[in-house]
Chains A and B, each alone.
Chain A
Amino acid sequence: MKNSQLYKGSLNTIIMKLLEENGKMYGYEITQKVKAITQGELNITEGALYPALHKLEAEGLLDVEIEKVDNRMRKYYKLTESGQKETVNRLSELEDFIRNMQSLVSPSPKLEF
């Protein structure tokens, strides 16, 4: 993953946000979606994606579904009820983070005289 240290902490939130928007998705679809949205800037590696998905599933935030597609089985992930609530929390946390980082990195000029 590009600049992995910076993105690493947000991987779970990225996954949850995508699932919130798209309902159910499978692993490969998630990697492709992230690539498409960020125009190839962010590339989630397989070695990071599946551990994150498995962890979220074990925490009860994601549920799984299996479908037979072509001649193989496909595992879909979707948010559970608690997963949906947690997504809202994590997104607002991430937004706060982005806002704070922005004001730290490029502080807006003070208009006090």
Chain B
Amino acid sequence: MKLTAQQIDQLYLFTRQHYVEYYDLQTELVDHLANAIETEWEQNPKLTFDEVLNKEFSKFGVFGFMDVVESRQMALGKKYNRLVFQHFKTFFSVPKILFTLTMTFLLFKILKTSIYNDYIFIAICIIYFGFIFHEFYKNKKIKKVQKETNQKKWLFEEIINQYGSFSGALTFPFYIFTQVSSHAERYLSNDYWLFSVSLMVVLFGILNYILFKIIPSKAEVHLKQTYPEYKLENL
């Protein structure tokens, strides 16, 4: 006996009730449960839908779907990191390395020659963190709208919008920046320190650009590549 469309919807609801928020994972689990139920019915046709469902769900173990969700999160998190790294690498190969080096030397030159270098540095920090907060705030608003309108959630989309494991790393420069600006005379008067600081500012700038601009602008492509069903759902 085949499952009806209504029973399939019931299975989607069941996965949601068991903490599977993401549509991509729900779909895979729904098909699995549906197959298992249909096979079980061939042997025990008298069992009700709920009885078979509970029997099949118990096979997932005491943590239910948690293991599956966690492993998927981890796998896609790694995929995201690899994506960021691939983009990052291009800034160190021809022709983009010219941009990276030019920016570093330019910043170095400005900080070295200007007598207001400590103010310039503070201004850079304000822009850096202002930009991050602005982007985080923007995403929070989008997420709220998504939640209110009950849109389907895709795990990889969420990772892209929350910057995977980088969201914590983005605030790391805060410590370094405050160190540098509070000991400006030490860090900004020595050429080696000055060059390192310039390089670091450029590197974090590149990372921000990748996380906030490049990857989100290609989100659609990445999602279609990760989820063939994304195309079907968003026609």
Q: Is the CB of A46 within 8 A of B60?
A: yes
Known: A71-B4, A73-B31. A51 touches B36 (CB 8 A): no
What is the CA–CA distance of A54 and B78 in the complex, to the nearest angstrom? Answer: 11
- A55 at interface by CB-CB < 8 Å: yes
A residues within 8 A CB of B31? 26-28, 69, 72-75
Q: Is the CB of A73 within 8 A of B34?
A: no
Q: How far is the CA of A66 from the CA of B35 in the complex (A)?
A: 16
The interface centre, meaning the residue of A45, A64, A68 with most chain B CB atoms within 10 A of its CB, is A64
CB of A20 closer than 8 Å to a CB of B: no
Chain B CB count within 10 A is highest, among A57, A66, A69, for A66
Is B5 in contact with A71, judged by CB distance below 8 angstroms? yes
Chain A: number of interface residues, binned into ranges: 20 to 34
Instruction: Using A26-B31, A28-B32, A28-B35 as known contacts, say yes or no to A65 and B228 having CB atoms under 8 A apart.
Output: yes
Bound CA–CA A74/B79 (angstroms): 22
- What's the minimum C-beta distance from B52 to chain A, rounded to whole angstroms? 14
Q: B158 contacts the other chain (Cβ, under 8 Å)?
A: no
| Residue A21 interfacial (CB < 8 Å) | no
Which residues in window 68-127 of B have CB below 8 A to A? 68, 70-72, 75-76, 78-79
- Interface presence of A47 (CB below 8 A): yes
* Nearest-neighbor residue (CB-CB) of B62 within chain A: A47
Q: In the complex the two chains form, is B3's CB within 8 Å of A71's CB?
A: yes
Task: Assess whether B61 is interfacial by the CB under 8 Å rule.
Answer: yes
Closest to B229 in A: A66
A7 interface contact, C-beta 8 A: no
Contact of A66 among B61, B68, B228 (CB under 8 A): B228
Q: Which residues of A contact B60 (CB under 8 A)?
A: 45-47
Given A70-B2, A75-B31, A51 contacting B71 (CB threshold 8 A): yes
By the criterion CB–CB under 8 Å, are B79 and A45 in contact? no
A58 interface residue per 8 A CB criterion:
yes
Q: How far is the CB of B229 from chain A (nearest CB, A)?
A: 4
Which residues of B are at the interface with A, using a C-beta cutoff of 8 A?
A: 2-5, 8, 27-28, 30-32, 34-36, 39, 59-61, 63, 67-68, 70-72, 75-76, 78-79, 227-229, 232
Binding site for B on A (CB under 8 A): 26-29, 32, 45-47, 50-51, 54-55, 57-58, 64-66, 68-75
